[in-house]
Chain A
Amino acid sequence: MKKQNIVLKVENLNFNYTPGSSYILSDVSLEIYKGEFIIIVGPRGEGKSTFLKIISGLILPEEGNVFYDGVNLKGIFKKELMEIHQRTGFVFQDSALISNMNVFNNLALPLRYHEIMPEEKITEEVNKMITIINMENHRFHLPAFLSMGQRKMVALARALITQPETIFYDEPIANLDDNSRNIIVKLMTEAYNKGVTSVVITHEIDKFLGFADRIIEIKDRTIANIKNLKIDRSPETIDQKR
């Protein structure tokens, strides 16, 4: 693995939500390479979701450093952090769709806010994405009228629509029916094959074993085990995928 390929670097991370209380994460260090598919596993309540939020820049650590593409997230200006967020996507465990916006507007929101493209193009892109997730009949439904699986698919589509270079998934296929699960795994696989760095918290690792690069086990507040499933992460391989 070559050093220039590192997209995310965590250095001696310690984290607790309340100052003075015991650490949720203690002395965690990790490097994630561009285009990798990382699975994070571990018992419930061990800080996996917190870890994902820290490496994605949603929570800033008090102790230790997190670098995204060489930029230390700790201490950067909010504007710079927002620019990094624009380059990444996050799929929340509970979908976190904007409750007063229908499916179409939820998907259009990041495109409209960042003024990435004109409104006609946004409509086209959103409709394309709605077709991919097979939700043409739910285009104008609010999240409250969708099933859990449908909400997860919209959340994933919202993360994918801006074509991020890294996506963080927090339990993307937990408690879903087979159909929703298959669509989500297919979309995640396609994103990975396009070279998107993927960090996934899941308990259903068998769905991703065919292409995952590493499995990281978080246990007892730290990284207990890293299992390499592949070794070829050379820049040429990444470029070929892109």
Chain B
Amino acid sequence: MSTEFLSKIGKSFLKKLDYFGGVCGLFVYAIWETLAGSRKGRKIIRQIIKNQILFTGYNALPIISIISLLLGIVIIVQSVTQLIQIGAENLIGQILIITMVRELGPILTAIIITGRSGTAIATEIGNMMVSHEVEALEAMGIDTLKYIMFPRLIGSIISTICLTIYFATVGIIGGFFVASFQLNIPLHRFFAFLFSAMTMTDLIVSILKSSVFGAIIATISVYHGFKIRLSSTEVPMATTRAVVNSLIYVFTFNGIITILFYI
């Protein structure tokens, strides 16, 4: 009984290792093929990167704005009442930096991008696989890793970094509105709290996290899209797997990066 249980655990671990290896292989191979391979097609690839940034980054601005603004407001509303009682209003800056820049900013941006773009990427590629478009590209001598994977990877990384910065900025603005109305904290004092709490490490960690999350979302979504073989009924299942696995990896790497930098 116990050997059977151990065997199941072992098999499950090997399956996960195989999956991780596949995703990492796709990531490395796509970058290698594009940078070390033929220079052909760069103009088209640049255009696809721009389109990806437009979809993943620019088109996500409204939802990011709403969520970050409301989050900034809620965080300050919730914390201000407590801070006033203990006379620690100067901690407003620290709270906003921890939530908006270090932790919630990158992770919530990644969740939004997974929901919007990760699903779109997995579905699009899945449908391309079913309708033989990917095969058709290869038949034309077009490297699909270079044409499909690489632009989505780069587009997703750039968009996630920009949206995370935007998320933090809007969230801090929301926080400022509440702070100025509820606590009568003037702009210069608010920013003095903020900048005294912010370190270079916070900025580096935020950008590092967002670039890693962008890479995770794009790679996993493309991976599951490419895995579809036979029918369109596989597409929604692959999309679900792409979302679930993206989130698992995003949260795992968030933990790893936080531990590496702050412990």
Contact = CB atoms under 8 A, between A and B. Distances in A.
Interface string B19-53: 00000000000000100011011011000000000
A56 B131 contact: no
Contacts of B127: 99
Interface of A: 53, 56, 58, 78-79, 82-90, 92, 94, 96-99, 109-110, 112-115, 158, 162
11 contacts: A79-B38, A79-B143, A86-B140, A94-B131, A96-B132, A97-B133, A98-B133, A109-B140, A110-B141, A114-B41, A115-B41
A229 B44 CA distance: 45
Contact of A92 (B41, B43, B136): B136
A65 B147 CA distance: 28
Contacts of B33: 78
A10 B147 CA distance: 30
Nearest to A115: B40
**Category for how many chain B residues contact A:** 20 to 34
Q: Is the interface of B mostly helix, strand, loop or mixed?
A: helix
A114 B132 contact: no
Contact of A110 (B37, B38, B131, B142): B142
Nearest to A90: B139
Contact of B41 (A96, A98, A113, A158): A113
Sort A-B residue pairs by CB-CB distance and give the 7 closest, nearest first: A86-B141, A90-B139, A85-B141, A96-B136, A96-B132, A113-B41, A110-B140
A58 B138 contact: yes
Contact of B133 (A88, A96, A115): A96
B140 A162 contact: yes
B225 to A, nearest CB: 14
B135 interface: yes
A64 to B, nearest CB: 21
Contacts of B37: 78-79
A83 to B, nearest CB: 7
A90 B40 contact: no
B44 A94 contact: no
A82 B132 contact: no
A97 B141 contact: no
A121 B111 CA distance: 45
B139 A113 contact: no
Contacts of B139: 56, 58, 85, 88-90, 92
Contacts of A89: 139
A97 B37 CA distance: 25
Interface string B108-151: 00000000000000000001100111011111111100010000
Given A79-B37, A112-B44, A113-B40, A96 B143 contact: no
A83 B135 contact: no
A83 B37 CA distance: 12
Contacts of B141: 82-87, 110, 113-114
A88 B139 CA distance: 8
A151 to B, nearest CB: 11
Given A83-B141, A86-B141, A114 B136 contact: no
Contacts of A114: 40-41, 141
B135 A85 contact: no
